[in-house]
Structure 1
Amino acid sequence: MRHYSSIDRLIQSFDQGLRSLVPGATSAHRQNPAQDSQSDLSVKEARHVAGLMRVNHSGEVCAQALYHGQASTAKLPNVRKEMEQAAVEEQDHLAWCEDRLKELDSIPSLLNPMWYGLSYVMGAAAGIAGDKYSLGFVAETERQVSAHLEDHLRQLPQKDERSRKILEQMNEDELHHRDTAIGAGGVDLPLPVRLTMTGISKLMTKTSYYI
């Protein structure tokens, strides 16, 4: 097994960041769940759905950064591998959301670089705190992401099967990641940490919908 130097890992982190932030740089490994679905939206509905998908895309950018940050500071090799694998699976979500935004003639949030940087720092800090807290951070993150997805599913127009299929598969994956993190030894985070994560999530949601 190759051992990477600090410079190697720095280059990897930079490459991962670019792939998460540059449109078209990430490809899905799985088939888009909306491939065989239809969507018939009015201009107003399409604008609202684009806002929702922009929020979800930003959420996936944050997820990438969290996993990358945690992998960079995880102490146990198996935990680091778990974080890296989860980031790969989340790439599908990133690509699917980006595809849907293109279909809706819209673009990702312009604030994504800021969200990526903030999330990377939070992920790295969680990794430094210890693997059980790092895994607990994953579980709490995925719980909050799932709550957002379920809310967005309720807001989608009935005729928008394409967005619905994407969000349903994303939610299934997020819940799986949450359960995996808990099963691997993740612990509940202190209340102040959970409240801080919720506050940042709300700020991201409200701004990325428009910008």
Structure 2
Amino acid sequence: MSCPGVAAAPCLWRLRQGVQRSLSARGGRIGVRFRSSGMTLDNINWAAVDRIIRVDHAGEYGANRIYAGQMVVLGRTSVGPVIQKMWDQEKDHLKKFSELMVTFRVRPTVLMPLWNVLGFALGAGTALLGKEGAMACTVAVEESIAHHYNNQIRTLMEEDPEKYEELLQVIKKFRDEELEHHDIGLDNDAELAPAYAILKSVIQAGCKAAIYLSERL
């Protein structure tokens, strides 16, 4: 349908009205298609996808705040470029999940302000222990996130691997990059951090709690 000349405004008005009627008919949700796959808001397990996108967005946001805190303390040291490279990848992860939230009309967790503060504090606090402390934090967090992504991959594979193919590709790619960050942490003396085993356990317990809460709130 074309809208040449003076007819453009009425045409746009009709288009807007059509979208509003579509939204109303679907309870406010747009029947969008996820790129080339058959995944739409009409044929997915809405509860599962809603939970996955919300918690993954929260996790990537928290990871960004952790790296931001680390860079404040260690950005000008020799390990600064290493942290910055990992942070840049986390920014890409967050951007993608922000886009998916818009596409699938998923609300963010109400705990975003808390993850903002706690993430930055965790990053800066562990960085104050030195490079080893920051890298121990990276190992703990990235290991937790990779495990979490593996659980999501398993869930979607059991549900319908073809229907969720593109979402699976996103999660698998990010999982692999989180594992790379984990290995970078080990290569940069994470295990030499003070009380490494205790520090790692405490951080991972916090990650587990954050995942649980962000899925539900």
TM-score, normalised via structure 2 length: 0.74
Deviations 1:19-54 (A, max 9, x none): xxxxxxxxxxxxxxx855442565671221111111
Coordinate RMSD, CA, aligned: 2.1
Match of 1:181 among 185, 188, 202: 185
For the Cα contact (< 8 Å) 1:98–1:108, is it kept in 2?
no
Q: Secondary structure at the match of 2:190?
A: coil
What is the aligned partner in structure 1 of residue 54 from structure 2?
54
Question: Identity percentage over the alignment?
Answer: 21
| Structure of higher CA gyration radius | 2
Counterpart in 2 of 1:145? 145
Distance 2:43 2:205 in 1: 31
- Distance in 2 (CA, whole Å) between partners of 1:75 and 1:183 is 18
Structure 1 spans left out of the alignment, 5+ residues? 1-33
Point out which structure has higher relative CO (alpha carbons under 8 A, 6+ apart): 1
Which residue type is aligned with residue 167 of structure 1?
I
Match of 2:207 in 1: 201
Alignment of 1:12-23 (within 5 A): none
TM-score (norm 1): 0.76
What code does the residue aligned with 1:94 have?
L
- Which aligned pairs between 1:76-115 and structure 2 lie closer than 5 A? 77-115=77-115
5+ residue gaps, structure 2? 1-33
Cα distance between partner residues in 2 of 1:200 and 1:171:
19
Give the equivalent residue in structure 1 for 2:198.
192
Q: Deviations over 1:56-77 (max 9, x none)?
A: 1111011101111111112762
Cα 1:70–1:171, aligned 2, differ >3 Å: closer, same or farther?
same
